[in-house]
Each structure stands twice: as C-alpha cells, then as structure tokens.
Structure 1
Amino acid sequence: MTTRRPRDLSAERSALRAAADRLLKGTPLHSETCRLTVTELLRESGLRRDVVYGDHKDLAEEFQARVRAQQRTPAISQSLADENAELKQKLSDTAAALAKERQITAALRRLVAELDLELNAMRENAGAARVTALPPRRRMGRNG
C-alpha cells in the first residue's frame, strides 16, 4: 500500500497566485507561449488540472477575470508593442535620412567627376594657354 503525503492547500493557492501574476506580467518561468489561458496557468503553477478544478476553481476563475479585465493584452506585451512602434518609427526616419544622404552623395560624385574632367582639360590646354599661377596663400596668425 502506498502512502500519500498530505497536500498543502495554502502552498497550492500561493503557487497559483504567483503563476497568475507572472503570466499577467509577461514573465513566466515555465510557460513557453505566455498565453493567458488556464492551461498555461496550470503549466506555470506546476499543479494538475484535477487539483486546481477540484479545490482551487475560484483562483482559476479569478485568473480568467483578470485576463478579461486586462483586455487580453498583458502589460509587458503592451510595452513591447509600444517599443516596437517606436523602433519602427526610428527605422523609418533613419531610412529617410539615408535616402537623403544617398542623394547628396550622388550629387557630390557627379560634381567631383565634372571637376575632374575640367581639371584634366585644363592640364591638357596648359601648354596652349598662358596660365598665371596665384601666389600661395598666406597663413594668418592669431592676431589676424
């Protein structure tokens, strides 16, 4: 004959409440999906279904009511959604800034190419035309 150890109803209730709090905060220890269901509450608490529905059905119903009151969106999920929206906006702004910089860079490349052509043309024509070199720039000291 097997002996059963006595159940600690208070510890079971504490485990259910702690599991419900963790699921609603979005910080589960045992649930992989973090869904706000009684099945996930059972998985998170480590208790069997017959134990919960037999002795602690009120806590399962309380959990379901808290989920409905939270409109099925855990606080952590809402904060992640807000952060995601903010990051999407930053990404959009960065992409727009990058597109603008690429336009500027393309214009500068065209300008450099044009100036390079002019410089080469001037070098080729330097023998034919008399070009006077400008005196070197004088550096101005601290006093002007």
Structure 2
Amino acid sequence: MSATPDARPDWRNPIHLLAFGLGSGAAPKAPGTFGTLAAVPLYLLVRPLSDLHYLLLVVLLFLLGIWLCERTSRDLGVHDHGGIVWDEWVGFLITLWMAPPGWYWLLAGFCLFRLFDILKPWPIGWLDRRVSGGLGIMLDDVLAGIFGFVIIQLGRYLIG
C-alpha cells in the first residue's frame, strides 16, 4: 500500500475507532505513546482477573487486533498507520501480565514497553520489516510486550 498523507479514520466506523485506541492514536505527536497511555485504564480494569483469564483475554484481543488492524490499514490505504494503536494496547497488556500491584510496576511496564516498541531490537525490527498485514502490525508490539514482560518478571524475581 502506498502512503496516503491525509489518511484519516472514519470515527463513525467502530473498527477504526477501536484500531485507533478509542481515538488515542489520533494524537498529532507520539500516537503510540498516547495509545499506550490510553490502555492504562483497560489494564486497571482487567488486572484483577486470574492469570489464565487475563492471558486468554489478551489472546482474544490479539486475534481481534489482527483483523481490526488489517481492515483499518486497508481502508486507509496505509500499512501500519501511526494512529493504529490497538497493537500497543495488546503489547502493553502483555508486558504487565502477572506484574505485581503498584504504580511503580505500572510505570516500569509502560516505559519498558515503549522502549522496546520504539527501539525494535532484534528480532522485533526484523519481523516488523518482513511480516505484513494485520499480523505484521500486531506482531512487533506483541514481541515488544514479551520483552517488557521478561524484564518485569526478572525485576519481580530479583526485588521480591
């Protein structure tokens, strides 16, 4: 798909609204960061779930995200439009799966996820360049979430 500089979502379309993180991805600067920030209330809502139910929900959100991101990307004519932040929501939730309670863990998870999502260390960047469509949009953020998850769990183990 060729980039369309003025590609804008149709806010009346629930698929676009969800893919753009309920509008959080429409931020003019750092839409991924704003999208991740908008996922904090969702995290606080699902945090009380059991580890298994939380994980199942994340898997469902991931699968839904492949479709949402693919459809929105196709509608806008732009692969991985910067405003599509559903993938950030899922990646952020992955980072914080089984994280201990407390704002410092939430803040650490936010920072770690954003760091890995922005820097895209191997294999995140490699996959981001090679996998297209809705799966490609979702996959780099899932991996960034897994990287963040590993660091959070290591910190949990070391700190206690």
Smaller-chain TM-score bracket: under 0.3
| Greater share of residues in helix | 2
Tell me the TM-score normalised to structure 2 length: 0.22
Higher RCO (C-alpha 8 Å, min separation 6)? 2
- State the structure with more CA Rg: 1
